[in-house]
Structure 1
Amino acid sequence: MPQKKATAKGNIRWVGRFRPPGGRETSRSFDTRREAKAWEEEQARNYRRGVWLDPNLDKLTTYEVYERWSERPAREASKKVYAQVLKNLGPMGDIYARKLTRADVDAWFHVLHTARPWANNTALSPRTARDMVAHLSAAMSMAVDEEWVGRNPIKIPRIDQDNLVRARDIPTIEQIHEVVKQLRSGGAMYDRKESGKIITKKQQPAPTVADMVLVGVGTGARISELCGLNVSDVHLLRREIEIRHQAHAVTGERVPLKTRSSIRVVPIGNDLIPVLDRLMGGRPAEAPLFETRQGLSYRAGTAGQHFQRAANHLGYGWRFHSLRHFYASRLIAGGLPVNQVQHLLGHSDPAMTLRVYTHLWPDSEEATRRAIEGILGGYGIIAGSEVEEPALRSV
């Protein structure tokens, strides 16, 4: 029952109290006894219906929800990922979890893959940003199960790279060579935020990333797969590369690929052998194929940033993933069937390959025309011709 209480100023307040079985008591004060009693009855009714939420958790922030979720038992590599997400929640982490909206999360996703103000305006790849949203969604689902919040408002976004690729989205070989030359020489100008100010800086030479571009063009490997290559994955005598690992987007550690379909052996052309031979250079089998000056494997985010700065400096809006589209377009132009293109790209099924690259295959009508072109020419049967058909011999 509500209890009467006098404030320090002598005003009368009525306190409603509710304690769920096995839980801690919650209370709220009101001007009248009727209001306090109605609140108590509402709490009891909501609890019986299974929709009661602890009012003590009204001020639980999104950051606190994710922090509690990340404290679950997990592998060390996963713990590092959780820590990175916490660092990148930004201002959204201060929003009360019960007031978090889908619009808040969509805006956070946009900031992650465009420019993070809390990280010198550096952007994450759309896939990494999407993975962070997925982690937060898992944390919010746990919060629903624990009755900290009433619902999970998060919808995990789709990323652009799964959309249809048009011919104009693919760089030419000449443009790729320009970017490689720019990476080797350095000098690309880019803006970066430091101490609250926008500063124009000059990119240093990145010859290893230039080599990574060449290998990406010649294999169609994803940037995370290239960063996960070791010297032992390259077989020059057999002229092939085994793709079985990738570099973790956040930690940079060499980890298995996410799907079995991504595991593959990719043939390499003769023109790529000198590049790979130079990269291997008698180094240990377990050494990263693409190594930083500190002797570590490149992170996908770092390599992708180098590539984008060089491409943007030249006026091209490419991402590193554009090289994969170039590789796919060459396979298709070379006449490879969809199932072979699917295997070489590491797609899960042919439908995905067709969904992304369908416009690069010739349509059936054009393919039919090429197939029958000249089939009747030997008999002089050409539309509009007055040449008579020679007599056919009986066989």
Structure 2
Amino acid sequence: MLRRSHVESWVKQMIAAGLAPGTVHTRVQNVRAVLRGAVRDRVIATDPSGGVTLPRRRRREHAMSIPTPPQVGALLPAADDRFATYIAICASGGLRLGEAAALQVGDVDFLRRRVVISRQVQRGPGGTVELRAPKHGSERRIVVPDRLLTLLAGHVEHHLSSGDPERWLFPTPTGTPPHQNTVGHQWRKATSAAGLTGLRLHDLRHFLASGLIASGCDVVTVQRALGHASATTTLNPYGHLWPDAEDRTRAATDGLMSAALDDPADPLRTGWR
């Protein structure tokens, strides 16, 4: 019989193994859903996971690692020539690992300066590559800067023998799109060569999001750029990066006071003494 002490022991083992608090929470919640279903079906009397203490999760703003522009700039020359373009499109377009891996030549619209995201790569059984729809139905078109288009054009010219629209943009030596192990290996090589530690490829999405927010983009614009299912999904990790009500009020009143103090009315003309 499964007891609460068994669940507590399991949680302690996961913590001792170095799993992140968020991972522990997710695993326990998955098991808890099954146990609660068993309670409803009267297979067991009570949920033995109830009341089990879980590790404290860090607030998102403290746990998030946002690469700086100089760090991203250092990664590009440090990476393998083919992989540098992969990094650039993840940083400029906020693509997920699997979305960038699944890009084909025809997905790049050089004339309209945008890239179509319509699929993602997932690792299947035995290391096979599977193609699926993007996460949460986040098919989208992303706008790309001219310098990225230049990199993409050079990548196609130098590394792909033909411009076949259905050819993978970042093929492996066997002609398949790369999966997470291949990308992870290249990422570790690039960060090591650049002398950077603690950065994940996924942090490039934070890089784009923080840059858009700093430039004054609203939540819907950031949501669409990242392919989030809703504005709430965007606000959960990034809400703290937007100016709050106090910041906006302070900026507004500062402007009013500056206008009043920098151009005072003539006391003789207004009659004030």
Matched, 1:217 2:91: yes
Is 1:307 equivalent to 2:183 in the alignment? Answer: no
User: Structure 2 vs 1, CA of residues 133 and 376 (structure 1 numbering), >3 Å: closer, same or farther?
Assistant: closer
Instruction: Tell me what 1:294 maps to.
Output: 174
Aligned counterpart, 1:228: 102
The number of residues matched between the two structures is 256
- Are positions 1:252 and 2:129 aligned together? yes
Following the alignment from structure 1 to structure 2, what is the Cα–Cα distance between the partners of residues 338 and 139?
36
Which runs of 5 or more residues in structure 2 are unaligned?
none
Which has more radius of gyration? 1
Alignment of 1:56-135 (within 5 A): 101=7, 103-104=9-10, 107=13
Separation in structure 1 between the aligned mates of residue 245 and residue 78 of structure 2, nearest angstrom: 41
Tell me the secondary structure at the aligned position of residue 318 of structure 1: coil
Q: Superposition pairs for residues 274-353 of structure 1, below 5 Å?
A: 274-281=150-157, 282-312=162-192, 314-353=195-234
Deviation, structure 1 residue 278: 2.6
Write the deviation string for residues 280-317 of structure 1: whole angstroms up to 9, x where unpaired: 34432222111112211111232133213432561421
Letter in 2 for 1:237: L
Q: Deviations over 1:36-88 (max 9, x none)?
A: xxxxxxxxxxxxxxxxxxxxxx9xxxxxxxxxxxxxxxxxxxxxxxxxxxxxx
TM-score calculated relative to the size of structure 2: 0.73
Unaligned runs of 5+ in 1: 1-57, 59-95, 115-125, 185-206
**Higher mean C-alpha displacement, 332-341 vs 361-370:** 361-370
**CA deviation string 1:86-109 (max 9, x = no partner):** xxxxxxxxxx9xx96464377469
Tell me which amino acid in the other structure corresponds to 2:261. Answer: I
Distance 1:335 1:284, change over 3 A: same
- Are 1:182 and 2:78 counterparts? yes
Aligned-partner Cα distance in 2 for 1:236–1:377: 46
Superposition deviation, residue 359 in structure 1:
2.3
Residue of structure 2 in register with 1:359 after alignment: 240
**Structure 1 vs Structure 2: percent identity of aligned residues?**
28
Q: Which protein has the bigger strand share?
A: 1
Q: CA deviation at 1:345?
A: 0.9
**Following the alignment from structure 1 to structure 2, what is the Cα–Cα distance between the partners of residues 267 and 110?**
44
1 or 2 for the larger relative contact order (CA 8 Å, sep ≥6)? Answer: 2
Letter aligned with residue 243 of structure 1: I
TM-score, scaled relative to structure 1: 0.53
Displacement of 1:234 in angstroms is: 1.3
Residue 240 in 1 paired to residue 114 in 2? Answer: yes
